[in-house]
Amino acid sequence: MQQQPNPNSQMKESGTLPTHLSQGGHAIYDAHEAISTVIGAMEHYKLYEPNIQCQQLQGILTNQYNYLTETYNTMVDAYQSGQKPAQPTAVYNMEISNDVTYGLQPSQPKQPEQNPQQLNDECYSGFMLGQLKACATAANNAALEATNPVMRRVLQDSVPNFSEMAYEMFLYQNDKGYYQVAQFDEDTTNQLLNSYAPMTNTNQPH
């Protein structure tokens, strides 16, 4: 049996490799996981779509799914070619007010629903928020150690957009009373906000 050469037995500079091969093994796996997470979010959105009752939530889902589709194609392009993708990373603009309602209203204790018929818009919007958090986390983790600069930039540029989409879902849930925001009392808030002081940099060059 002929022994196969070990691809790691020789050191290689990125400039000597074809662009699509200028990626380390761990970077390929991390980007693979990030792209797979986006696929999972898109597939879950399709599961939620026929069951959502709120027209506003349907509109958000449609906008976010369309953006996820574009981002997925951009990621795959950069992943496979290692070069600047034909469609650059777009900016996601949410279509919801960023006003937040603070305070807690009395509500019944929650528990997991036990059959699909019990799932409602509160559940689906929460699922969407969870999917987007996973996308932001996976893309951020992959970008931190990506070896190909183009793939790193695509992943890095996707993080704030996934975060914006997740924030949009938080705002929707907050507006509907699904996601309530507790606050400290004013004295505690002020004490915490004023618990730091600016410093003077004494290491400035002379």
Q: Which CATH architecture has domain 22-103+121-193?
A: Up-down Bundle (1.20)
| Per-residue pLDDT at 66 exceeds 50 | yes
pLDDT digit string (tens) for 133-151?
999 999 999 999 888 989 9
Nearest to 107 by CA among 48, 176, 166: 176
Q: Give 91's contacts (C-beta < 8 A, 6+ positions apart).
A: 161
Give me the residue spans of the domains in the chain.
22-103+121-193
Instruction: Name residue, tokens 């807690």.
Output: 104
Residue 173's pLDDT band (cuts 50, 70, 90)? very high
- Cα 161 from Cα 41, distance rounded (Å): 14
Beta bridge pairs of residue 103: 181
**Is the per-residue pLDDT at 35 higher than 90?**
yes
Q: Is the pLDDT of residue 92 over 80?
A: yes
pLDDT band of 7, cuts 50, 70, 90? low
**pLDDT range class, residue 5, cuts 50, 70, 90:** low
Q: Are 143 and 156 in contact (CB under 8 A)?
A: yes
Let me know: does 128 contact 43? Beta carbons within 8 Å.
no
How far is the C-alpha of 57 from the C-alpha of 53, rounded, in Å? 8
The C-alpha atoms of residue 30 and residue 154 are separated, in whole angstroms, by 13
| Distance, CA of 61 to chain centre | 15
Full DSSP string of 129-156 = HHHHHHHHHHHHHHHHT-SSHHHHHHHH
Q: What is residue 162's predicted lDDT score, i.e. its pLDDT?
A: 98
Q: pLDDT at residue 15 above 90?
A: no
